Chain A
């Protein structure tokens, strides 16, 4: 109960700070607007205003403060503007509309899920190979670990363009990026998980005269589940980032990344913020869903803490 209260307080504090930050961020633009509309502004000359600090301007012209939360193209949109835009572009628009965030979100989500499925599948396969073959372990594993320290996302624009030049476009290039971003975390986590049974447990199976495959299915795989889910959560977040970044170089056709890019081209800040929040909500839902599945699976397996 106390922690819910604490979280709510922090969230409320963030929103208050956000509203407060809108004033200095937007005041100069608002002053220009109200002056054009014929209102008295202190100080009157534009040159003096340019040299003044934002806070001084806000104090001198306190009557425009409400306007800083209602601007059309603010530098920092107020929370309610973002919320309204989110509502209008999800519930207020038809799903087939090009302005519907659900449409764009689905474009991104489908690439994310496809890539995530491919990346996770291949990652698990490679991990199984690494655990069972010493050669693969010694040759591949160091590279898999090193690959986590390098920004492989830099490959994204090239993959898009190269696949485009061989005639592949649409969902596949984005899915490829998502796949390789989720691939390495899954490999590393899964290898750790498949190795997690200790000597006692492995010895027990040996006394049962269990074959290698029985040992895998009955001990190693179940024991790896907590590790698998931990890396799946990292992997899906990485996949989503991959799909969003993969949408950037295609010239902003569809998807959340395209909304971000189009918004930054045309100075539509409210659009950028709502796309950003849509991406955040999507990520939170995906991670939350995996957490739910994790809890159900682990409970069913009797491993829940």
Chain B
């Protein structure tokens, strides 16, 4: 019971500290803006740890964070193997193929008005559907290994990237296009020098949405069948064995992989679209 009271006190203290920081004179600085969410996160972890230990919550319901960290440290090789199977082989290769295919398709769609009128409504429609449902079919076609996961990822990332790229390629104004015309620029010259750079913020928007979708696709596809390695496989079997510390460690890996992946794409965006108002601020 002492631990629960302690957890309550830690919560109050963390909240008080954050209130002081957020309403203090330094609230606008970068350091404080970074510090406040970190304090919040650490407080939650401590409260979680204390409450789980204090109330003696069974391990099969919620393991304390310290156990998860311990498991994370001790099963590095397994986690790395799962990570490389699901993320490097499945999600990343599917992401590259899907985004590449969507990009090429978008150029074709942009070139032919008829295709754009016909394909865009279909694309918008498909983008809202539960595409993860194709996972059992694709697993049946491409086998249990990473190829089927990559295929699911391709299908999942295709339409968001397509729709965003097409929208981006229409971003230039008539004035700008006329200027290229007066320079006697060919289609591809004006494409590479004007329309593609102008489309970049939109393209990266699609690419960023797709990072999460790629991981979701690769993980969920493994619930339908996989070799005995992979993040989705490990999650579903560890849940079956009630080894929840392993599940949480795997979720930690998924969270890290997801935010790093997103961060990388956002970094690339920053260097490519340095001219855009949203990046200059």
Give me the interface of A with B, judged by CB distance under 8 Å.
Answer: 2-3, 6-11, 14, 75, 134-135, 137-143, 146, 148-151, 153-155, 157-158, 160-162, 165-166, 233, 237, 240-241, 244-245, 248-249, 256, 260-261, 263-264, 267, 269, 272-273, 275-276, 279-280, 283-284, 287
Contacts and interface: CB of A to CB of B under 8 A. Distances in A.
Contacts of B60: 162, 165
Contacts of A153: 216, 219-220
Given A7-B117, A139-B36, A151-B215, A264 B140 contact: yes
Nearest to B265: A149
A139 B115 CA distance: 46
A161 B118 contact: no
Nearest to A276: B133
B61 interface: yes
Which of B139, B140, B240: most chain A Cβ within 10 A?
A: B140
A237 B156 CA distance: 14
A160 B242 CA distance: 12
Contact of A158 (B130, B244, B258): B244
A139 B14 CA distance: 10
22 contacts: A6-B114, A10-B119, A11-B122, A138-B33, A139-B40, A150-B258, A150-B259, A154-B219, A154-B250, A157-B223, A157-B235, A157-B239, A160-B239, A165-B61, A165-B242, A237-B128, A240-B130, A244-B132, A264-B139, A269-B140, A275-B133, A279-B130
Contacts of A261: 136, 224
Contact of A272 (B37, B114, B136, B239): B136
B15 interface: yes
Interface string B180-192: 0000000000000
Interface in B238-272: 239-240, 242, 244, 247-248, 250-251, 254-255, 258-259, 261-263
Given A3-B121, A134-B22, A272-B136, A249 B61 contact: no
For chain B, give the interface size range.
35 or more
* Chain A at the B interface: SS class: helix
B132 A75 contact: no
B212 A283 contact: no
Given A249-B236, A269-B137, A150 B255 contact: yes
A205 to B, nearest CB: 23
